[in-house]
Amino acid sequence: MKQHRYRVTLEYIADVDGNPQQREPLVFEAGNHDEILGIVELVRRRELFDAQTTAAFVVGQKLFGAVMLENRNNPLFTEFWPHFMDFMKKLKGAVKP
C-alpha cells in the first residue's frame, strides 16, 4: 500500500513536577495512508480542542489507526476494531469540510 512517510520525534521536556529532563529524543519513522499535517489543520479549523491538543489527538489517532489497520488480524484488536470504526465515522462527521 502506498503511504506518506513521517519522521516522529518525541522529546522529554519536563517531569510531572516541572523539572527539566535531559534524555535522547525518541525518533522513529511511520507511514500512513493519509496526509496527517493536512488533517491536523482541518481538525484545528473545527476548534474541537486547542491547537496543541488537536495536534496530539490527530497524530496519536492516525499512528494508532495505522498500526491497527496493518495488524487488523492480531487478536489484540479483535474486540476494539468495530468500536474504533464507529469512532472514526463519528469523528469524520464532526470534521468534514
Domain 4-95 listed as CATH 3.10.20.850? yes
What's the mean per-residue pLDDT of the chain?
94
Query: Which H or E element spans position 45?
Result: helix 36-46
- Strands 4-10 and 26-32, by their bridges, are antiparallel
Express each pLDDT in 71-89 by its tens digit: 989 999 999 999 999 999 9
Which sequence spans correspond to the domains of the chain?
Answer: 4-95
The rounded Cα 36 to chain-centroid distance in angstroms is: 8
pTM: 0.88
Judge contact between 63 and 30, C-beta under 8 A: yes
**What is the average per-residue pLDDT within 54-69?**
96
